[in-house]
Structure 1
Amino acid sequence: MRKPSRLVSVVAIVSVFVMSLVWGAPPASAQRRPEMQILSDAETDHIIRKMARPIFQAAGIDPDSVTILLVNDASLNAFVAGGQNIFLHTGLIQSIDDVGQLLGVIAHETGHISGGHLVRGADAMENAFLSSLIGMGLGIVGGIASRNAGAGAAGVMLGQHLAERNLLSFSRSQEASADQAGLSFLEQSGMSAMGMLTFLQKLGVGDPLLNDRDAGYRLTHPLTRERIASVQAFVDHSRFANTPTPAAVNEDFRRIQAKLNGYLDPAGALRRYRADDRSAVARYGRAYAYFRRGDVKQATPLVDGLIAEDPRNPYLHEMKGDLALQTGRAPDAVAPYRKAVELAGSEAGSIRVSLAHALLEQHEPRLADEALKNLQIAAKTQAQSAFLWRLTAQAWSMKDNPGMLAYATAEEALARGDLPMAKFNAERAEKLLPAGSPGWIRSQDIRGQTGGRDAPK
């Protein structure tokens, strides 16, 4: 089981505005602010983690200890912060030409981790990211599925700019060192380093045509002609320079790229993935674009066709459930979600939350037990999700259990960063639950985490 990193704990307490691909977009007022939005999608996380696993292993890093997060930002950038946490901007995934370039970026960022740059530059890096979080303010609601994404939302404002400046603390020598380490990891994994080279060439050095969208990577990863020449020299002598990426890996990458394009830019995706393109990737991109537009009539046959061709793909069944749930047909969403959970196995954490949501939306107490079972399993890897705990509280309310309702509400408040409310409900749960029971013990832990904060009046 992948253990949550220190940064994820920080994110849980400070309550970063978490955005799941399967739920709707924030209101226009929120979209206008330069917020740092973290996208959560089971399929994207699974695919990137699977393709990056050999790189982490070559670096001597436990792959399950690395947290990969998607930042909803159109700029072409990636960075590491707060420990073994790799942040990839959606603009990076959307704009790169092939999966080899993404692997090159991940190898480079892994080079920073393995090189101890985060240790030597810990203060600067941690402060950079924390300044960004502080700029967001506390109490940002993370549950877009609740259709209340904008409640309490605050923009990053100066925090994001402070983070960008502080992240420049990685020196050019550290960047070159991370390049060399990353190249070594790719070589050990039998992967071509050509992607890293073409990515750096894509950005260029002193290119007058470089736009603001691409400049982010150059600001946080200082480029020099010497760096590019060094990578070129490595590629020239690599045994695997011309080794192609396996077709299945390319197909997986193209699918999550199409998914992001369809979700974040429906109009652009429909232009890119034309109706006469019958490839699975194009149909997937169109399906998500129609889904985001609320056009279920066009999206449904595309998803059904993809499932017919690839019935063992859990994420296609997940999307079918999403289509039903987000159009007010919760009962119809249950079967595809159950199938997705079955097929995804240990990777089904966020899908189990969606299944529980579909069950609870029917307001039938008889379904509360199945919802709770899925939420309890999902909490092993999704405990930082305020929305998970909100659903858990709803299920315990349906079962008329005030003690567990108070406990779940305390967990939700803790995940949102509302420490006074977390303490208030944890104390209430301790009074209502049997002494020594799991909920009672965890409530004591929550009360301890909230320190001496005063409870709400």
Structure 2
Amino acid sequence: MHLRTILAACLFFIAGSAQAATLLRDPDIEHALNRLARPILQAAGLPASLPVLVVEDGRLNAFVIDRNAIFLNSGMVLRTSSAAELQFVIAHEAAHIANGHITRRRLNAEHSANMAKLGVAIGIAAGAGSGNPEAGAGLALGLANSAQRALYGHTRAEESSADQTAIRWMSIAGLDTGGAISLMDVFRGQEHLSSSRMDPYARSHPLSRDRLRRLEALNQSYGKAAVSDADRYWYERAKGKLSAFLREPRWTEARAGDSPTRDIEWMRLAVVKHRRSDWQGAVALIDRALAERPGDAFYTELKGQILLEARQFAAAEAAYRRAADLAPKDALILASLGHAMVVQGGDARLRAALPVLERARALDYRNGKVMRDLGSAYAQLGQPGMAALSVAERHALAGRAKDARIQAERAAGLLPQGSPAWQRAQDVLNATKDEG
């Protein structure tokens, strides 16, 4: 995605009250969710690289903003009870993309005087670099409640269309369509509640008895498939890791033994140890999980996170480097490796970190931590133009247009005119031209 496209989204704001949410960026969880989504995306003819991202919000909801990602609230992941249920949610949101519902709502918004000020800022939350282990890059959804319902609220016709498309794709992919019915049972009765008491999903995805009957008929017509062991494993792994970070450690301890495999149990308990600042105990448990699954890039990455946050920087870098060798195209792992190198400092290590971080930036534009570390590395290496550019892009992704423009002007004055980096500074300036 071109930076100017990203910035165009970032600078399209809402007037009035807004809410901010944080993306929980974790390579293991995202890998698991994208494995669950892969057969659906293949059946849909959508890109296999379409990410499924988790928003830190305990309420039941899932949504799409554009064609570039599917968002699931953490509450949706934690309150589903099977891989099939979560796959139906993913398939349903993918259907809203494929069926053109997002495009139509954007066009309608453009022609509505009441919607003229509606905007979306996708980027990095102000506290993204706070060191919170559960939180990575942020997602600023500058959405007033009424505007959110207007833009993302689906009509019953759209819901019926997305349901039918989702069930068909799941059937083509050989997935259990029964997950749609059991999921809807979670929302049964929501239509009788006041709007303020409804789950967001029920508000934006209208339920009705007719809709439930159609889903049941679709499920019957397409038949029921068995859930694969692989899908069950990755669903339980993602849910187990997410709950271990978000729920009370005592809750996880009491239920870790219910995990379907020993490695997931040990991973969950390792997170408990990590959250209690027992890094040696956490590492010992992750090593037990790795003994069960040798060469697992994501358990290795978690080991790196535990070591990094225990300030065992050299050991953390070694773990992240091993994880990057195992998953060389994972942007979050590369970002963590680059960060472990930057925090140790030294010209040689900083110079080696730059290509790692630039690769992470190229693979995933959403991660503001990468731009923070690039800015730090370039500044320490005496490259103020590149440092200013990195800061400008981070401000732009966060929706801080004036700050982005100030830094972009500085970068443009320091970088060789016409160079790729200079052009990136021009993209920021073009996107922020109305910000004075």
TM-score normalised by structure 1 residue count: 0.82
User: In the TM superposition, what are the counterparts of 1:31-42 in structure 2 within 5 Å?
Assistant: 35-42=20-27
Q: Give the distance between the partners of 2:419 and 2:187, measured in 1 at CA.
A: 57
SS in 2 for 1:75: coil
Q: Give the distance between the partners of 1:6 and 1:441, measured in 2 at CA.
A: 11
Q: Report the counterpart of residue 89 of structure 1 in structure 2.
A: 73
Q: Check 1:207–1:397 CA distance in 2 against 1; reply closer, same or farther (3 A cut).
A: closer
Is 1:328 the counterpart of 2:324? The answer is no
SS in 1 for 2:70: strand
Contact 1:121 1:170 in 2 (8 A): no
Give the aligned residue type for 2:162. Answer: A
Contact 1:7 1:82 in 2 (8 A): no
SS in 2 for 1:121: helix
- C-alpha displacement of 1:148: 13
Contact 1:375 1:392 in 2 (8 A): yes
Q: Check 1:14–1:350 CA distance in 2 against 1; reply closer, same or farther (3 A cut).
A: farther
The answer to which of 169-178 and 266-275 deviates more is 266-275
Question: Across the two proteins, how many residue pairs are aligned to each other?
Answer: 427
- C-alpha displacement of 1:211: 12
Gaps of 5+ in 2: none
Q: Report the counterpart of residue 64 of structure 2 in structure 1.
A: 80
Is 1:47 the counterpart of 2:29? The answer is no
Q: Report the counterpart of residue 230 of structure 2 in structure 1.
A: 248
- C-alpha displacement of 1:367: 0.4
- C-alpha displacement of 1:186: 1.0
Q: Report the counterpart of residue 264 of structure 2 in structure 1.
A: 281
TM-score normalised by structure 2 residue count: 0.86
Is 1:293 the counterpart of 2:276? The answer is yes
Aligned-residue RMSD, C-alpha: 3.6
Q: Give the distance between the partners of 1:235 and 1:359, measured in 2 at CA.
A: 51
Q: Give the distance between the partners of 2:240 and 2:277, measured in 1 at CA.
A: 18
Give the aligned residue type for 1:53. Answer: R
Is 1:396 the counterpart of 2:378? The answer is yes
Is 1:356 the counterpart of 2:338? The answer is yes
Contact 1:287 1:302 in 2 (8 A): yes
Gaps of 5+ in 1: 17-32
- C-alpha displacement of 1:441: 2.8
- The percent identity for this pair of structures is 28
Q: Report the counterpart of residue 28 of structure 1 in structure 2.
A: none
Q: Give the distance between the partners of 2:428 and 2:71, measured in 1 at CA.
A: 28
Q: Check 1:445–1:218 CA distance in 2 against 1; reply closer, same or farther (3 A cut).
A: closer
Give the aligned residue type for 1:379. Answer: R
Which residue, 68, 74, 90 being the options, matches 1:106? 90
Q: Report the counterpart of residue 371 of structure 1 in structure 2.
A: 353
SS in 1 for 2:71: strand
- C-alpha displacement of 1:179: 0.9
Contact 2:388 2:411 in 1 (8 A): yes
Is 1:317 the counterpart of 2:329? The answer is no
Which residue, 216, 222, 226 being the options, matches 1:238? 222
Q: Report the counterpart of residue 143 of structure 1 in structure 2.
A: 128
- C-alpha displacement of 1:174: 1.8
Measured against aligned partners, the alpha-carbon deviations of 1:213-269 in whole angstroms (never above 9, x if no partner) come to 873322221112222222222222324x1x212101211110110110011113322
SS in 1 for 2:236: helix
User: In the TM superposition, what are the counterparts of 1:181-200 in structure 2 within 5 Å?
Assistant: 181-200=165-184
Of structures 1 and 2, the one with the larger relative CO (CA 8 A, separation 6+) is 2
Measured against aligned partners, the alpha-carbon deviations of 1:107-126 in whole angstroms (never above 9, x if no partner) come to 22222222222233225689
Contact 1:93 1:257 in 2 (8 A): yes
Q: Check 1:430–1:148 CA distance in 2 against 1; reply closer, same or farther (3 A cut).
A: farther
Q: Report the counterpart of residue 423 of structure 1 in structure 2.
A: 405
Contact 1:352 1:375 in 2 (8 A): yes
Q: Check 1:436–1:79 CA distance in 2 against 1; reply closer, same or farther (3 A cut).
A: closer
Give the aligned residue type for 1:98. Answer: S
Measured against aligned partners, the alpha-carbon deviations of 1:85-144 in whole angstroms (never above 9, x if no partner) come to 32211111111111000111112222222222223322568999x95857x9x9942533
Contact 1:111 1:181 in 2 (8 A): yes
Q: Give the distance between the partners of 1:442 and 1:69, measured in 2 at CA.
A: 26
Measured against aligned partners, the alpha-carbon deviations of 1:130-184 in whole angstroms (never above 9, x if no partner) come to 95857x9x9942533557999xx99989x45325532574222221221111111
Q: Report the counterpart of residue 342 of structure 1 in structure 2.
A: 325
